[in-house]
Amino acid sequence: MLVPSQSWQAKAKAKRSANSAKIPPEWRLSKVDLKKAAEQRDLTGSFIQQYLDADEQAILSQEAVAIVAHVREGDLTAKNVALAFCKAAAISHQINNCLHEIFFSQAVARAEELDRYYQKHGRVVGPLHGLPVSLKDQFHVKGNDTTMGYIGWIDTYEGSNDKELVHKVNSQIVTELLDLGAVLYCKTSLPQTLLFGETVNNIIGRTLNPNNQNLSCGGSSGGEGALQALRGSVVGLGTDIGGSVRETTYPSTVGVLGTSIDAIHLVFSSIMATQPWTKDPNLVPIPWRPDLADEVLARSDAHGRSNGDLPLKLGIYWTDQVVTPQPPIARGLRLVVDAVKKAGHKIVEWEPPDQRTAKRVHLAFLKADGGYDIHKQLNLSGEPLIPELQATFKLKEPLPLPVYQELTIEGRDYEAQYSDYWNSTSDSDGQVVDAVIMPVAPHAAVIPGKFYHTAYTEAINLLDYSVVVIPVTKADKSIDLADPGYKPLNDVDAKNWHAYDPDIYDGAPVGIQIVARKFEEEKVWAIGKIVTQILQSGSFESDV
């Protein structure tokens, strides 16, 4: 084991100070403002806008597709856009603690370079020209740290001191974003190890939910979600191994987070157009197939109403019968189901194979090495596991190979059972379910320390299915009341149910996930867009 030359506490403190020093003096908030923010329940909207001028607010109010259009038409410069988002991100971090890496000067220089190219050639570099894109602190950007929440990775390359690598590597997807014209300006917070549904580590501490500071921002891509809620970003990249993008697979995957459904399409399709599988052999060689998305979109009008020929057929998964969703989530599901029905689409009950199997197998894979890799990274600095992970990832003997093989087979069998069930949904009317509406978690943004059940996302990771998450409503203490006569299904369900407090959750964002089958990203995105159109139209508002 390496002996750290500096205490982990001192190294973390130095990192926090170095990061804060990168915020320009004119963007720094006073102690009075910081105290005001700490006492504020909701930091979004008018609260953060008080620190932004009218021109900055006008830029920040634009969605990603509009931003690239304005820059392409010469109505906005890449530099002005970059400055607005850098300032918003700087303020966001000061009031919400959501950034790990700040490289605003690098971003402004990049934007100036793009503006010079546009002035000289009269055209844009690529489809993302001038678009600020934030990144979870799991991606390498030259000139900057990538800590992934580990103190031992500060000023290193994943713990290595190799001078050929430290601060000299771009992740492949970073190279592609730059080639497409994006402007990268910050990296966002995540939990130590990534394997936690809240965002807390020993470097910067905890990131809370800016919509409601009584609650967590989720994880492991929680910093991305928090920054976007504050409009310090309109699109960014996260990663997912058990719900990390959705709560903001066998392998971890990259996902796009955006403040609009069209932002996801813009960035995802643009990246896929670069044929990333030719540079990374781990990727599946499937481009973005616009015809698949168009086929689904053609089944409804601009308001999401069914055209009548082939309405969507969506499953509804109310509960996994292990942990019942709390009242705000249950109402969100009902609202979506009622709206989709009123728009002329089909809804059927979804009763798949038991998700407890998937959760058990998925968690076993995550812990298969007995925590060896996690403790290897911790030992670089001597930092401890955060308290929330100490029971789950205490160092143990790794799984024997035969046991691992058995789990792999069990996981494959579960995939086959789930697929067979999905195919059986055509028995009644000849139409297979297109996608399934289900909870992301049994609660809205969770109270810190009370995330008890992850099967709603873990099962989908094990299946390697395609997912999009959309916002639906917000928790409302006047109508989201717990049933006093509810009888919990088990101890975990009881803990989750009793953790619900209408006053604390009031105003918390409520979202749902829409799940399609493997390699159906275009289809699930299109269905997500249709459901979003239905909800935004207002004409299908539910009474529940």
In 3-state terms, the chain is what percent helix, strand and coil (to 5)? 40, 15, 45
**Has 347 been labeled as part of a binding site?**
no
DSSP assignment letter at 277: G
What distance in Å separates the CA atoms of residue 524 and residue 363, rounded to the nearest whole number? Answer: 26
On whether 134 is known to bind a ligand per the annotation, the reply is no
Q: Three-state SS for 470?
A: strand
128 is in an annotated binding site: no
Q: What is the DSSP string of 356-396?
A: HHHHHHHHHHHTTTTTHHHHHHHHTTTPPPPGGGTTTT---
- Tell whether residue 528 is among the known ligand binding residues: no
Question: Two tokens at 483?
Answer: 């049933």
> Is 399 labeled as ligand-binding?
no
Q: Which residues lie across from 438 on neighbouring strands? A: 513
- DSSP designation for 189: -
Tokens of 148: 């992934």
**SS in 3 state form for 108-177?**
HHHHHHHHHHHHHHCCCCCCCCCCEEEEECCCCCCCCCCCCCCHHHCCCECCECCCCCCCCCCCHHHHHH
What's the rounded Cα separation, in Å, for the pair 97 and 227? Answer: 9
Residue 187: name the closest of 208, 212, 170 by CA: 170
Q: What angle do helix axes 521-537 and 327-342 make, rounded to 10 degrees?
A: 90
Q: Are 355 and 456 in contact (CB under 8 A)?
A: yes
H helix intervals, 191-289: 222-229, 261-272
Q: 465: left (phi > 0), else alpha (psi -120 to 50), else beta?
A: beta
Angle at 463 between CA 237 and CA 331, to 5 degrees: 75
For the chain, report the end-to-end CA distance as a whole number of angstroms.
Answer: 58
What residues are labeled active site?
136, 220, 244
Q: Using alpha carbons, list the distances in angstroms from residue 391 to 31, 104, 207.
A: 38, 39, 22
| Cβ-Cβ contacts under 8 Å for 455 (sequence gap 6 or more) | 320, 322, 323, 355, 356, 358, 359
478: preceding bond cis by omega (within 30 degrees) = no
463 annotated as a binding-site residue: no
240 to 200, 289, 367, 416: CA distances (angstroms) = 17, 22, 16, 22
Which parts are annotated binding residues?
Answer: 194, 220, 241-244
Which parts are annotated binding residues for substrate?
Answer: 194, 220, 241-244
